[in-house]
Amino acid sequence: DYRLAPEHPVPAGLDDSLAVYQALLEAGHRPEQIIFSGDSAGGGLAVGTALRARDRGLPLPKALVLMSPWVDMSLSGESMTARAELDPWLTYDMCDELRNHYLGGRDPKDPEASPVFADLSGLPPMLIQVGEHEILFSDSDRLAQSAKAAGVSVELEVGEGMWHVWQLMAPILPEANEAYARISAFVERQFGA
């Protein structure tokens, strides 16, 4: 658990997540045995925590697994309007209200709040899954492009016909089960299994 907005806007969640990671390292857990993962805002938190670890000179986790990550609090992605009618889960107005609570007055393009605007160099390999029909599609696409440009190994998987965090529909949705199978395969590759 980490502190949540609106009572605790950014960077409270990042502070908490980094503190947990530091505690794991101090307890003797090896970073190459750790993968950061998150969906939606948790995906943004996973990227932001990795960036903080990098910037503080901490060893980085083995990889990042991101499901429909929300990484642009400026809501400037093309999909915010182009796919607004396709996503049954999220709306622009919902995103606008949630981001205002999260930001607490901070600039929405601040890389600490919106990792899509950060320098991603040096981050570990990423698996990004995003639904074809989701309003946050551009967040994932732009994050993948920025990561590749920064020399980060990144796999972007688009769930055909899927919406925001469709993976949560496992085990009843076959496409969600397939997404988790691909996550498992990615994790196994990272650990050399």
- Decide if 64 contacts 37 (C-beta within 8 A): yes
Query: 159 φ, ψ to 5°?
Result: -80, 110
Catalytic residue among 17, 40, 114, 138: 40
Of 119, 187, 185, the C-alpha closest to 150 is 119
Query: Options 3.40.50.1820, 3.40.50.720, 3.30.70.380, 3.10.180.10; which CATH number does 12-190 get?
Result: 3.40.50.1820
The percent of the chain in helix, strand and coil, each rounded to the nearest 5, is: 45, 10, 45
Query: pLDDT tens across 98-132, in order?
Result: 999 999 999 999 999 999 999 999 999 999 999 99
SS3 category, 70: coil
Catalytic residue among 17, 114, 140, 164: 164
pTM over 0.85, yes/no: yes
Distance CA 38, CA 46 (A): 6
The Cα–Cα gap between 1 and 16 comes to: 8
Q: Where are the domains of the chain?
A: 12-190
Percent of the chain predicted with pLDDT > 70? 99
Q: Is 68 left (phi over 0), alpha (psi -120 to 50) or beta?
A: left
d(CA 148, CA 128): 12
Average pLDDT estimate for 59-81 = 98
The Cα 120–Cα 135 span in angstroms is 23
- Whether residue 164 lies in the annotated active site: yes
Give the three-state DSSP class for 42. helix
Tens digit of pLDDT for each residue in 130-149?
A: 999 999 999 999 999 999 99
Q: What amino acid is encoded at 81 in this protein?
A: T
68, 79, 134, 140: the catalytic one is 134
Largest CA distance in the chain: 48
